[in-house]
Amino acid sequence: MKRTFWMAFALAATLCAPLGAAAAPAYSPDQADSPANLLDQPALAWTFDRWIRTQPLTQESLRGKVVLIRWFTEECHYCQSTLPQLEKLQARYGDRGLVVLCVFHPKPRRHVSDKHILKVANRLGWSGPIAVDEQWTTLERWWLEGNPERNWTSVSFLMDQAGVVRWAHSGGEYHPTDDPRHARCARQYAELDATLEKLLAEKRVAN
């Protein structure tokens, strides 16, 4: 989800460029929403307000698992396109060691009831574990801190079995599709899927 709603339409074409449009360049560190500086680095600590549909999960307890984490919020059509695909990835790869976590961050920052969060998650197509980041504490630490120019908050990070970030998505949507208007969305999803296959095939790390 965009930090500023009215900028969403301007960036949507970039994030999901149609076939025939100029190819979008790879992320570079000088782009406002580039996650390049986070790749191949240990994930920072997370501190969530509470958990829904699961006991509290720690990064230490998930060592030896491949972890995909995605922030979402209400009225986010990018999340509505992406979260059902994360549900499918969990079903496909869960037995091989994938854990998908979705993190709710309310806009504006405020207390939101578990009942409301569950209603949003169900509407968007996510039935798995949810972490609650009401004051964006972890979102700030992982993504926004020191980067006021960043536009997106619906970010995703994929960590390997040792907790190192190996793939990241700087916001918006990614999903399989044959729609040429969403060619980049499909390409980014394919990159995620290929990275998942690679990480899940790595020698298992003891937790």
As a residue count, the chain comes to 207
Euclidean distance between CA atoms 164 and 24, whole angstroms: 26
Does the residue 23 lie in any domain?
A: no
Rounded average pLDDT per 10-residue block, the chain, 207 residues:
42 34 41 93 98 98 98 96 98 98 97 98 98 98 95 97 98 96 97 98 81
Task: Please tell me the predicted confidence (pLDDT) of residue 22.
Answer: 30
Say how many domains are in the chain: 1
Does the residue 187 lie in any domain?
A: yes
Euclidean distance between CA atoms 55 and 61, whole angstroms: 11
Domain that holds residue 147: 42-201
Does the residue 69 lie in any domain?
A: yes
Does the residue 36 lie in any domain?
A: no
Does the residue 35 lie in any domain?
A: no
Does the residue 108 lie in any domain?
A: yes
Q: What is the pTM of this model?
A: 0.86
Structure-block tokens of residue 153: 């908050």
Yes or no: say if 49 and 135 are a contact pair by the CB < 8 Å rule: yes
- The torsion angles phi and psi of 141, rounded to 5 degrees, stand at -65, -40
Does the residue 62 lie in any domain?
A: yes
Yes or no: say if 83 and 125 are a contact pair by the CB < 8 Å rule: yes
Instruction: Look up the CATH number of the domain holding residue 133.
Output: 3.40.30.10
Structure-block tokens of residue 96: 């091989």
Helix (H, G, I), strand (E, B) or coil at 176: coil
Euclidean distance between CA atoms 73 and 8, whole angstroms: 15
- The torsion angles phi and psi of 142, rounded to 5 degrees, stand at -80, -30
Task: Please tell me the predicted confidence (pLDDT) of residue 2.
Answer: 59
Helix (H) or strand (E) segment spanning residue 198: helix 183-201
Does the residue 9 lie in any domain?
A: no
Euclidean distance between CA atoms 114 and 119, whole angstroms: 9
Of the candidates 81, 87, 35, 68, the residue with the CA atom closest to the CA atom of residue 176: 81
